[in-house]
């Protein structure tokens, strides 16, 4: 199994390459990034670091090295420090993705691509349209919001994080939809009171505000390397339970021609199934609001 990471010198790309190598999930990892010196630095260091535990072969490369690839992680982005507004961020990253998808198309057809670049709902939609690959190959990365819901539930209830299960669908952003109706503890449904729900939402909001106020160019590389490596492991071995992915929708969850976070089962050919959960009426309404918001941004950006 061959994996390539485009944007591999960055805060997400480099730790993710390291952790996937450390877990010995794939045979080959090709690192691609215009920041050649830093890229080489990571590759030289990482190769020695994982020798004891891994057979993964790590190399730096160019787009032509995408030949024979099974999975691409796309975390290329313009420097966060250069971003002055959400619009500038979107415009700059769409321009970057136009070039990157143009290069990818020259060397790969219909393989699995994990889109990490933010705003991920819009970028995944754009990559899907630009590449023209089957929709089950398009896996937008949206796992961290579910981790934060479980973390916040653990914090507010004191319940063991490892025994909690719960997902967050919708937009990766303000219009996220924590599925409180579907939370389980030790595999059994867990009733969430209004107080716990409010405290959980507040904990997520406070964490996000505090993290953003650090105003550092660094994103969440540590969490991403864990959750992205889990996602790649699911692709290689097949999911044992649903994971949220920003996915092109064609009627699922009553939305179409849009990419939003929904529960999916993964396997070597990409998304095997979009899992239809019996979510509450309120969650369905929140999901629709998320879709309307993302649709507005897509239209404003002239993509639809
Ligand atoms: N979806 C999610 O849950 C999630 C979570 C965290 C971060 N992100 C997003 O992931 C992206 C990457 O984050 P990061 O912290 O690694 O950023 P970063 O700035 O550290 O890394 C981006 C990398 O992309 C490279 N790059 C720039 N132009 C390129 C091009 N044309 N081709 C290939 N590579 C190119 C840069 O050299 C850099 O190494 C950002 O958009 C960030 O907002 C998404």
Q: Are 236 and 25 in contact (CB under 8 A)?
A: yes
- For residue 80 and ligand 1, the question of a CB distance below 6 A is answered with yes
pLDDT at residue 224 in the model: 97
Euclidean distance between CA atoms 179 and 171, whole angstroms: 13
Which residues have CB under 8 Å from 12's CB, separation 6+?
75, 116, 219, 220, 221, 224, 225, 228
Q: Whose CA is nearest to atom 11 of ligand 1?
A: 117
- For residue 100 and ligand 1, the question of a CB distance below 6 A is answered with yes
- For residue 282 and ligand 1, the question of a CB distance below 6 A is answered with no
pLDDT at residue 212 in the model: 83
- For residue 12 and ligand 1, the question of a CB distance below 6 A is answered with yes
Residue 225's Cα: distance from chain center in Å?
10
What is the value of pTM for the model shown? 0.97
Which residues have CB under 8 Å from 269's CB, separation 6+?
112, 136, 137
Q: Are 246 and 124 in contact (CB under 8 A)?
A: yes
Helix (H) or strand (E) holding 239: none
| Ordered per-residue pLDDT tens for the chain, 304 residues | 999 999 999 999 999 999 999 999 999 999 999 999 999 999 999 999 999 999 999 999 999 999 999 999 999 999 877 666 666 789 999 999 999 999 999 999 999 999 999 999 999 999 999 999 999 999 999 999 999 999 999 999 999 999 999 999 999 999 999 999 999 999 999 999 999 999 999 999 999 989 888 877 788 999 999 999 999 999 999 999 999 999 999 999 999 999 999 999 999 999 999 999 999 999 999 999 999 999 999 999 999 8
Q: Whose CA is nearest to atom 4 of ligand 1?
A: 116
Q: Whose CA is nearest to atom 31 of ligand 1?
A: 96
Nearest atom, ligand 1, residue 140 CA: 1
Q: Whose CA is nearest to atom 18 of ligand 1?
A: 10
pLDDT at residue 49 in the model: 97
- For residue 219 and ligand 1, the question of a CB distance below 6 A is answered with yes
Mark out the alpha helices in 132-275 (DSSP H runs). Answer: 144-157, 194-213, 221-237
Q: How many CB atoms lie within 10 A of CB 274?
A: 20
pLDDT at residue 87 in the model: 65
Please tell me the distance between residue 122's alpha carbon and the centre of ligand 1 in angstroms. 15
Q: Indicate the burial class of 33 (C-beta count within 10 angstroms; 0-12, 13-18, 19 or more).
A: buried
Nearest atom, ligand 1, residue 14 CA: 16
pLDDT at residue 248 in the model: 98
Q: Which domains does the chain have, with CATH numbers?
A: 2-140 (3.40.50.720), 144-300 (3.90.110.10)
């Amino acid at each position: 199994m061959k994996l390539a990471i485009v944007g591999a010198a960055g805060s997400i790309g480099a730790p993710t390459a390291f952790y996937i190598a450390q877990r010995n999930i794939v045979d080959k990892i090709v690192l691609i990034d215009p920041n050649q010196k830093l890229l080489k630095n990571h590759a030289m260091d990482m190769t020695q670091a994982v020798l004891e535990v891994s057979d993964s072969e790590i190399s730096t490369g160019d787009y032509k090295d995408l030949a024979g690839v099974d999975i691409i992680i796309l975390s290329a982005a313009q420097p966060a420090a250069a971003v002055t507004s959400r619009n500038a961020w979107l415009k700059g990253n769409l321009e970057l993705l136009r070039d990157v998808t143009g290069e990818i198309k020259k060397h790969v057809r219909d393989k699995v691509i994990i889109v990490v670049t933010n705003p991920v709902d819009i970028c995944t939609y754009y990559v899907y349209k630009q590449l023209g690959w089957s929709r089950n190959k398009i896996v937008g990365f949206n796992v961290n919001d579910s981790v934060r819901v479980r973390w916040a539930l653990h914090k507010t209830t004191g319940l063991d994080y490892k025994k909690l299960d719960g997902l967050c669908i919708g937009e990766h952003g303000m219009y996220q939809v924590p599925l409180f109706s579907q939370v389980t503890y030790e595999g059994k449904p867990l009733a969430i009171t209004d107080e716990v729900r409010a405290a959980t939402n507040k904990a997520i909001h406070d964490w996000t505000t505090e993290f953003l106020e650090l105003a550092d160019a660094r994103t969440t590389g540590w969490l991403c390397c864990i959750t992205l490596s889990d996602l790649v492991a699911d692709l290689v071995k097949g999911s044992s339970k649903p994971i949220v992915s920003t996915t092109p929708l064609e009627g699922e969850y009553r939305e179409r021609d849009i990419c939003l976070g929904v529960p999916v089962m993964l396997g070597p050919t990409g998304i095997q199934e979009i899992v239809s959960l019996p979510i509450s009426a309120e969650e369905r309404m929140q999901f629709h609001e998320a879709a309307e918001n993302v649709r507005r941004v897509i239209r404003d950006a002239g993509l639809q």
